[in-house]
Structure 1
């Protein structure tokens, strides 16, 4: 089992003719069932062409009608990326994963509010994220496939680098992953920690979860409240930014602290109170999980 994606997911790459879109689509095609899963690309005005053997359409709606796509990955430049999300939402895809970094916050607020008003069924992951991978089935995004191993540990993180670090540690310890979800570091995004943790809790083949958070916002505190009341599986947590100087804006656009909330310590306290096994050392995420399972 897995969450969000598996070998039956049918994917369109929006922005496939760009340098970044082509490069990462190639990596995804070469991973596990990628050649079955990546069935279309979209670049307006370039319909009828092919890239890497993948047919290009002018719109996401055409890709859905002709190739049955139910998920999209977006490698569109920042000023056009929110519109690309809107297009995938209008086509009523199940899942949209936006890799693009640097989308104007005002654009994302409009897109988020538009999805809410439409009561859209589309699940948005990102923007500014590494994507999602179900090991040995399909990867949608920019993560290095070779560090992953199929198994029963879920991983969710705001940081791409911390996602890879957690996965590598787990794999080195022989602990495979069910699905790994990079939710992105922007302040206005789709899935939150709580949403993904809930999916892992409901997934019968996920036995435990590693969650990586960071300073800024209150998502981790809200997730901790849900874990305390509902989670039935072990969770290991790591919060980045504990040494960040007070009052200084750090790292991701979402790493903004206000009113005493969003600090590393407030997140750590909330997670520990919820029964999460928190490690202060990023090199011990895997070993902490192994202890939690024993």
Structure 2
């Protein structure tokens, strides 16, 4: 049984037009059901364009409304990443996955406080993985983030880790022993 994501999950990439966002979105599309899962990108300056046959929207809210996406992966540089996280939260997504490393602590404290206030006021809760996380994967279904897909094998064991590289090592050893994973989740080091 997987957690958080499956082959039917619809994903938005924030920062899809940047080098890192492009590279990893393409890798995610190439993994299992990724072509069907990655349905939108966000860049206000490039709205109306597309990349890898993924339409680009001006905002997360617009992308979610148009596509039914419930998850966002964030590859935005540190100076703008907290705003990108908050935009995903304001759009009422179920899950925001922030790959970005080095976001100022003060910015993340502000986001955390706004998320708590939104939830306390009865707003929808968005789960945040990260920042500085490798993402998550449900083997043979979908991967979101920077995890290498080839080391995973579908199975029953869940893996959760703060460290990206230790996640990969644990998964690779499990796979080598013939033990498959239901999901592997990197919660982030920042």
Deviation at 1:45, TM superposition (A): 1.5
CA distance in 1, matches of 2:8, 2:113: 30
* Cross-structure match for 1:185: 189
The alignment status of 1:147 with 2:151, answered yes or no, reads: yes
1:134 aligned onto 2:147: no
Q: Which structure 1 residue ranges, 4+ long, deviate > 6 Å from structure 2?
A: none
Q: Is 1:36 aligned to residue 40 of structure 2?
A: no
Aligned residues: 186
Q: Report what 1:176 is aligned to.
A: 180
Q: Distance in 2 between matches of 1:184 and 1:64?
A: 24
Quote the RMSD (CA, aligned, Å): 0.6
Rounded to whole Å, the distance in 2 between the matches of 1:183 and 1:88 is: 17
Return the alpha-carbon distance in structure 2 between the equivalents of residues 116 and 5 of structure 1.
Answer: 23
2:40 alignment partner, SS class = strand
The alpha-carbon deviation at position 44 of structure 1 amounts to: 1.3
Alignment deviations for residues 39-64 of structure 1 (CA, whole Å, 9 cap, x no partner): 00001121010111110001001101
Does residue 94 (structure 1) correspond to residue 98 (structure 2)? The answer is no
Partner residue, 1:79: 79
Distance 2:33 2:12 in 1: 15
When the two structures are superposed, what TM-score results if normalisation uses the length of structure 1? 0.63
Aligned to 1:122: 126
* Distance in 1 of aligned mates of 2:104 and 2:158: 30
Partners of 1:64 and 1:156 in 2: how far apart? 27
- Deviation by residue 1:19-54 (Cα, 9 ceiling, x = unmatched): 000000000000000011000000112101011111
How far, CA to CA, are the matches of 1:184 and 1:11 in structure 2?
19
Larger Rg: 1
Query: CA deviation digits over 1:128-162, x for unaligned, max 9?
Result: 00001000000000010000000001001110000
Counterpart of 1:68 in structure 2 is 68
List runs of 5+ in structure 1 lacking aligned partners: 187-294
Q: Distance in 2 between matches of 1:44 and 1:166?
A: 39
Mapping of residues 270-281 of structure 1, within 5 Å: none
Compute the TM-score of the two structures, normalised by the length of structure 2. 0.97
Which residue in the other structure is 2:52 paired with?
A: 52
Deviation, 1:117, is 0.4
Find out whether 1:5 has 2:8 as its counterpart. Answer: no
SS at match of 2:81: helix
